[in-house]
Amino acid sequence: MALHWTQEQYDEFMKRNGRKREDRNSRPQPDDDTEKPSKYRNKKVVVDGITFDSQKEAKFYEALKLLKLAGEVKEFTLQPEFILFDGYIRKRDNKKIRPIKYIADFRVVWADGRVEIIDVKPSSQFKTRVYQLKRKLLEGRYPDIFVKEIYD
């Protein structure tokens, strides 16, 4: 069932809920020569020639570099991939179906031998349904792996 409101009904709803009407022109718009803003309004950052999806992820990378220099981190890798569902050839049309992957932000090997898979998130509320599903599939296929979420 579709819900159709008049502009007056929408304005009244927004007023009752203590929100101002959002003006489309007040949203940040990209200039003609810039890229479209990302879906989640994060800004890509380049550090050491590596492009990160957010400033928080770049800061965490820089912290890991310092921890490695201090000897607390043995090694770390960026964007480790885990196969959740293998790819295959679909029989009915011989089409190649790609595997489903979970790509974390970091894999960290600590000096004491612990291994952590880390995902940097903007907040604890920021978990898309796809992320939640892939994380469950990861934990089911790789029961020894635990994903640590880092919030700022």
Domain membership flag for residue 100: yes
Domain membership flag for residue 53: yes
Domain membership flag for residue 26: no
What pLDDT band is residue 152 in, cutting at 50, 70 and 90?
low
Domain membership flag for residue 10: no
Domain membership flag for residue 5: no
Question: Which pLDDT does position 1 carry in this prediction?
Answer: 46
Question: Which pLDDT does position 29 carry in this prediction?
Answer: 52
Q: Are strands 81-85 and 100-103 parallel, antiparallel or unpaired?
A: antiparallel
Closest CA to 72 of 22, 31, 112, 99: 112
Domain membership flag for residue 28: no
Please list the alpha-helical segments (H only) found in the chain.
Answer: 7-16, 55-70, 129-141
Region 104-132: mean pLDDT is 87
Q: Are strands 106-110 and 115-120 parallel, antiparallel or unpaired?
A: antiparallel
Rounded CA-CA distance 100/94 in Å is 18
Q: Domain span at residue 125?
A: 38-150
Region 55-71: mean pLDDT is 91
69 or 122, greater pLDDT: 69
Say what percent of the chain tops pLDDT 90: 42
Q: pTM score, two decimals?
A: 0.66
Domain membership flag for residue 14: no
DSSP state of 66: H
Number of folded domains in the chain? 1
Cβ atoms within 10 A of the Cβ of 150, count? 16
Domain membership flag for residue 72: yes
